[in-house]
């Protein structure tokens, strides 16, 4: 019997985080070069504008490789998520125990108990659906809410990646949102990413600050 592989989900998400980190590095490096051009007193305004335009095109070209890799990793992530969705893995002895527990009582289990059961089987779509079938009232609701909607979440992430690609480099401020989406997917599959996994480099805070300024209408 095939097994649900949440570790593979984690690996693909970490790979995508790595691509986001590289995109930020390119962006920050470009900004530093642009600042040096602007600060120079030896260049005319026309010359500066020409150099800045060339710099922007160079950035787009260098980022193309990273954006394409981000998309490929996204597609691999979706493949893993869909493969996991189709796995009927009821081999865990605790699954049988949980079915018995949920079936034996006419009343909903305490929230702490049902939440613990749901947490144990995060990322196991078919198991959670099976448990929801025998659960009562609010327990059923809790379990169904923990069933990851691969199609909807994958489409949302895809649109975020497309927006980043089409609008680059200005769209770089959307990277914090993409990062948050990836963390959410990992968590929904029972995988907690480490600080190292989600670290997008020293330039990430600059991107965050830009996002905040835009949200406040300061840009």
Rounded Cα–Cα distance for residues 18 and 12 (Å): 10
Q: Residue range 14-36: average pLDDT?
A: 95
Q: Is the preceding omega at residue 169 within 30 degrees of 0, hence cis?
A: yes
pLDDT tens sequence across 180-208: 999 999 999 999 999 999 999 888 887 87
* Higher-scoring residue by pLDDT: 89, 78: 78
pLDDT tens sequence across 45-59: 999 999 999 999 999
Is the per-residue pLDDT at 26 higher than 70?
yes
pLDDT tens sequence across 167-178: 999 999 999 999
Rounded Cα–Cα distance for residues 203 and 2 (Å): 41
pLDDT tens sequence across 95-126: 999 999 999 888 889 999 999 999 999 999 99
Q: Residue range 131-138: average pLDDT?
A: 93
CA distances from 93 to 34, 47, 112, 119 (A): 60, 71, 21, 16
Residues 6 or more apart from 191 whose CB is under 8 A from it?
6, 7, 9, 10, 13, 123
Average pLDDT, the chain: 92
Is the per-residue pLDDT at 1 higher than 60?
no
């Amino acid at each position: 019997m095939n097994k649900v592989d949440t570790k593979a989900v984690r690996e693909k998400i970490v790979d995508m985080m790595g691509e986001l980190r590289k995109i930020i590095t390119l962006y920050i490096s470009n900004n530093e070069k642009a600042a040096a051009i602007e600060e120079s007193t030896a260049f005319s305004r026309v010359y500066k504008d020409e150099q800045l335009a060339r710099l922007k095109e160079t950035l787009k070209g260098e980022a193309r490789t990273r954006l394409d890799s981000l998309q490929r990793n996204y597609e691999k992530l979706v493949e893993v998520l869909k493969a996991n969705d189709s796995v009927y893995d009821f081999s865990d002895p605790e699954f049988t125990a949980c079915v018995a527990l949920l079936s034996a009582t006419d009343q909903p289990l305490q929230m702490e108990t049902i939440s613990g059961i749901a947490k144990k089987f995060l990322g196991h779509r078919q198991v959670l659906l099976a448990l929801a079938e025998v659960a009562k009232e609010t327990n059923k609701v809790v379990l169904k809410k923990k069933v990851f909607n691969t199609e909807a979440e994958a489409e949302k992430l895809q649109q975020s990646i497309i927006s980043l690609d089409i609008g680059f480099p200005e769209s770089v401020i959307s990277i914090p949102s993409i990062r948050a989406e990836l963390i959410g997917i990992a968590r929904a599959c029972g995988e907690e990413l480490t600080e190292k996994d989600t670290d997008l480099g020293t330039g990430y805070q600059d991107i965050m600050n830009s996002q905040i300024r835009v949200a406040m209408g300061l840009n």
